Chain A
Amino acid sequence: MMQRTKDLSVYAGGHVNTHSRREVMKTMGYAAIAAGVCGKVPSLLASPAPTAPVAIGTCKTYNSAELLSTLDKMFDQLGGLKRIVNGKTVAIKINCTGEATWRLGFLPLGDTHYTSPEVITAAVHLMGKAGAKRIRILESSFSSVPLEELLLQANWDPRQIASAASNVDFENTNFLGKGKKYSRLVVPFGGYLYPAFELNHSYSDCDVFVSMAKLKEHETTGFTLSMKNCFGISPCSIYGSSAGIDEPDENPRGGRGVLHSGNRQPSKIAPAELNPTSPRQDGYRVPRAVVDLVAARPIDLQIIDGVKSMSGGEGPWAPGVAAVQPGLLVAGTNPVATDAVGVALMCLDPMADRGTHPFETCDKSRACDNMLRLAEQAGLGTRDLNRIEVIGARIKDVAVNYAAQRTASLMRYGPLPTRGISPALM
């Protein structure tokens, strides 16, 4: 039986103004058109940012039966998976941040900072059942090795995912990959930093784009959910530190320095940034780059794995991190609304702003902007929990205080031993 709740927030109680999906699509379209016409950051848009329902499921383990039944129910609550994927080519961007040789403690990567392979497998299986024509697993893993090789290094068996449905394949989107040329995706509202991106073909050669993220905090941006996961759709061949000046480097190395610090422009086949004199701090740039990317490549379906995760950062390299087991799954069709719910589930405030938790740092010049606010201003969706219909579990009943979990872990086990040298050198 479908459960709908309108009691939304651990922060905000009050009136709920839900919109129908048709209204949402209409509003979203207007917002994009208005922004494109005006060529401005659309904070002046008259229409409220669109919203969409978000489903929360409780799932205590990565047991496949529990995952399948929970996800199946959540997709039903969102109107059914068939409606979204039937007869379509589905591209799923998973989250495998950092080197596969780096764990939090002894824990498998899927239990902490990678999207769990069991969640990927279950979602792929359900998409196959719902009629997906082709399912493509995407991630921009370091260098240009096949994605399957990264998964093997992580101690996963990609055959498990590939056999969950028919016609499943993998692509490392960190470079040109299997495509003949890059795809240019334009930012409809004009962009905060970039007017368009050159991306691996996989992000345009699909009918449905899914961001399958992890319920995590982030050292720079406060949190990393379905939107921030898309930072990784940018290929390092063009946006990486090793990218060629004129042409992409098809054997990319290193991280996305172009987007992080803006210390250089992308390879010239891609549009340069709009304002090279804008601040170079990653707290300013990363959330804007994320919003630009999500606007250029809209996310049709968001799935957030919060069954097991970590608090304190996006990977084991962040200081003071700890493993957590929220036992949650989140899904939705508007990335801003979905991520706002995800943020609230970590007991963070989606309405918080630069300089306040979790967007503060000791060095105020490096404080970060809330990407949800920027996305909302760009007309991508609302972060206001009062305007988001939450289906399934109630936020206040299942939210997990990540900061408290971290503190409890530290009290029990003490701080993780600090490495003797810079993590970059490990």
Chain B
Amino acid sequence: MSGIMSSELIPMRWPSQWRDSSTLQRLSNTPINCLLIEGPDPLRSVVEQAQKNGIRVIHGTSELSGITVVQGEWPGIRLSRSGGRNTASSGPTGLPWVNSNGWEIRLVAALNPKSTIWVDVTPKDPSVSYQLCVADVAACGGNWIISLDDQLAAGIERGDAEPMETWKGLVESVEFFATHNDWPSYGGSAVVGVLSSFSGEDKALSWEVVKLLNRTTEQYRIIPNGSFSANSLSGLQAVLCPESDLPGGGIRKQLLDFVQNGGLLITRSAWHGIPGTPADWDHPRYAGRVLGKGSVAVAKSKDAADPYMMANDAVVLVSHRFDLLRLWNTGSVSAYLSEAPDGKRAVVQMVFYAREMNGAMAAHGPVNVSVRVAGRYRTARLLTFDKQPLALGQPDDHGIGMVIDEDSVELHLPPLSCYAAVELGV
């Protein structure tokens, strides 16, 4: 199996209580092709049998080049500090706080463009949704190091019905993303770019801004200063610079050109003295300047920036008029739109977190989900883990289908589980 490139590996952490190599049969006919076997005991028979089966065995992720491991968090709605089973923690808006790994995968990938991103997170509770974890990571192009809780691992080893059903679902979701392995090569469509070094004094702020922007479902692009190029700003409506330090002269000039051509630049107060004339709009936290066809929003306060306000202000400053995605009835969701290199296909991926709350599964996922996608698409196909692809045509008796508008399409989806993707064609 030495022929498999690191980027093609689909990893799983071998459960410590699986001592018998015969348990490897659980992995046959699955896309899992890499086992992480940890601990002092080498489990020689397992290693040998795995290698015979064509599975790459590693004892630590440092053995692999081209892999960057993110220490993740279990996705879902964050537990209440009170521990009540029906209460969730909420963010500053009063909306529930969602743990997700997508933003960090995208950020680490942007900082390490030649790396494949693996996410290492282990379940703490046997009732969690494994499919949600696969989706949360894979929708952003990462790979979860599949890790089973002890109870599930024991049940799978014994072949018990319920654990085997969970295992089947997990494998289905992994197979789904293995089948659609071209999606990570699609370019992320974006309205706002976040330009930063993502290091130094403002590292924590910049990272947090990305995390919170991800929660808004605004489509964003991460632009590390170090990999800034002429194409970095193409297609964007706005650029948010969360750092107080000014970027270098070359980048600064391109940013000002971007504004001259109609873009919006959102900056910290250190950027006072920027060219242009005062704008006629006012904002509680930003002063506006007009420059050419565009404008600059400069933070009024020199105080330490609040990343929550910064992310949410950016969405409003650029305006929902430019939304690439609008979603209804999704509950807590991450949503990503990306476009194929040929420009003729796109995919919307949605990860729904409301099913996974307080470590327990709700009865079902969202219903009556509507999605408006900006663009002149004319075909749509719904893809989920457990059902046949569904072509979305004219709305049926129950309203499920697609409504085509001049510059957008609106998709009306059947009841969903924790993940759905819609492939769109022009």
Residues of A within 8 A of B (CB): 101-103, 105-106, 143-146, 148-149, 152-153, 155, 250-251, 253-254, 316, 413, 416-422, 425-426
> Of A145, A155, A420, which contacts B316 at CB under 8 A?
A145
Known contacts A149-B320, A420-B362, A426-B354: does B415 contact A101 (CB below 8 Å)?
no
> Of B320, B362, B363, B370, which contacts A103 at CB under 8 A?
B370
Asked if A155 and B319 make an inter-chain contact with CB atoms under 8 angstroms apart, the answer reads: no
> Of A106, A155, A253, which contacts B94 at CB under 8 A?
A253
- Inter-chain contacts of A254 with B (CB < 8 A): 94
- Inter-chain contacts of A149 with B (CB < 8 A): 316, 319-320
Say whether B412 faces chain A, with CB atoms less than 8 Å apart.
Answer: yes
> Of A102, A144, A417, which contacts B415 at CB under 8 A?
A417
| Interface SS of chain A | loop
What is the CB-to-nearest-CB distance from A73 to chain B, in angstroms, rounded to a whole number? 32
- Inter-chain contacts of B316 with A (CB < 8 A): 145-146, 149
Tally of A-B Cβ pairs under 8 angstroms: 82
A178 to chain B: closest residue by CB: B282
Known contacts A101-B330, A106-B368, A106-B412: does B355 contact A420 (CB below 8 Å)?
yes
Known contacts A421-B357, A422-B86, A425-B354: does B368 contact A105 (CB below 8 Å)?
yes
Known contacts A103-B329, A149-B316: does B323 contact A420 (CB below 8 Å)?
no
How far is B356's CA from A80's CA once the two chains are assembled, in angstroms?
A: 57
Say whether B332 faces chain A, with CB atoms less than 8 Å apart.
Answer: yes
- Inter-chain contacts of B332 with A (CB < 8 A): 425-426
How far is B88's CA from A413's CA once the two chains are assembled, in angstroms?
A: 32
Say whether B284 faces chain A, with CB atoms less than 8 Å apart.
Answer: yes
What is the CB-to-nearest-CB distance from A385 to chain B, in angstroms, rounded to a whole number? 37
> Of A143, A155, A250, A253, which contacts B326 at CB under 8 A?
A155
Contact with A along B293-326 (1 / 0, CB 8 A): 0000000000000000100000010011101001
Contact with A along B187-225 (1 / 0, CB 8 A): 000000000000000000000000000000000000000
Say whether B56 faces chain A, with CB atoms less than 8 Å apart.
Answer: no
- Inter-chain contacts of A153 with B (CB < 8 A): 320, 323, 326
Asked if A253 and B362 make an inter-chain contact with CB atoms under 8 angstroms apart, the answer reads: no
A417 to chain B: closest residue by CB: B367
Residues of B within 8 A of A (CB): 77, 86, 88, 92-94, 96, 284, 309, 316, 319-321, 323, 326-332, 354-355, 357, 362-368, 370, 372, 395, 398-400, 412, 415
How far is B218's CA from A188's CA once the two chains are assembled, in angstroms?
A: 47
For B331, B362, B365, which residue has the most chain A Cβ atoms within 10 angstroms? B331
How far is B413's CA from A417's CA once the two chains are assembled, in angstroms?
A: 14
How far is B159's CA from A200's CA once the two chains are assembled, in angstroms?
A: 65
What is the CB-to-nearest-CB distance from B207 to chain A, in angstroms, rounded to a whole number? 23
For A105, A254, A416, A421, which residue has the most chain B Cβ atoms within 10 angstroms? A421
How far is B94's CA from A413's CA once the two chains are assembled, in angstroms?
A: 33
How far is B332's CA from A112's CA once the two chains are assembled, in angstroms?
A: 23
29 contacts between A and B (CB under 8 A): A101-B326, A103-B328, A105-B399, A106-B370, A106-B412, A148-B319, A149-B320, A152-B320, A152-B323, A153-B323, A155-B326, A250-B284, A251-B284, A253-B92, A253-B93, A253-B94, A413-B398, A417-B364, A417-B415, A418-B363, A419-B362, A419-B367, A420-B354, A420-B362, A420-B363, A420-B365, A422-B86, A425-B332, A426-B329
What is the CB-to-nearest-CB distance from A144 to chain B, in angstroms, rounded to a whole number? 7
Asked if B329 and A102 make an inter-chain contact with CB atoms under 8 angstroms apart, the answer reads: yes
How far is B330's CA from A189's CA once the two chains are assembled, in angstroms?
A: 45
A146 to chain B: closest residue by CB: B316
What is the CB-to-nearest-CB distance from B79 to chain A, in angstroms, rounded to a whole number? 13
What is the CB-to-nearest-CB distance from A289 to chain B, in angstroms, rounded to a whole number? 21
Asked if A103 and B368 make an inter-chain contact with CB atoms under 8 angstroms apart, the answer reads: yes
What is the CB-to-nearest-CB distance from B239 to chain A, in angstroms, rounded to a whole number? 20
- Inter-chain contacts of A145 with B (CB < 8 A): 316
What is the CB-to-nearest-CB distance from B29 to chain A, in angstroms, rounded to a whole number? 32
A150 to chain B: closest residue by CB: B320
- Inter-chain contacts of A144 with B (CB < 8 A): 284
- Inter-chain contacts of B398 with A (CB < 8 A): 413
How far is B182's CA from A103's CA once the two chains are assembled, in angstroms?
A: 33
Asked if A425 and B319 make an inter-chain contact with CB atoms under 8 angstroms apart, the answer reads: no
7 further A-B contacts with Cβ under 8 Å, apart from A106-B395, A419-B362, are A101-B326, A101-B328, A103-B329, A103-B368, A413-B398, A420-B354, A425-B357
- Inter-chain contacts of A143 with B (CB < 8 A): 93
- Inter-chain contacts of B399 with A (CB < 8 A): 105-106
How far is B319's CA from A106's CA once the two chains are assembled, in angstroms?
A: 24
> Of A106, A148, A253, A421, which contacts B354 at CB under 8 A?
A421
- Inter-chain contacts of A103 with B (CB < 8 A): 328-329, 368, 370
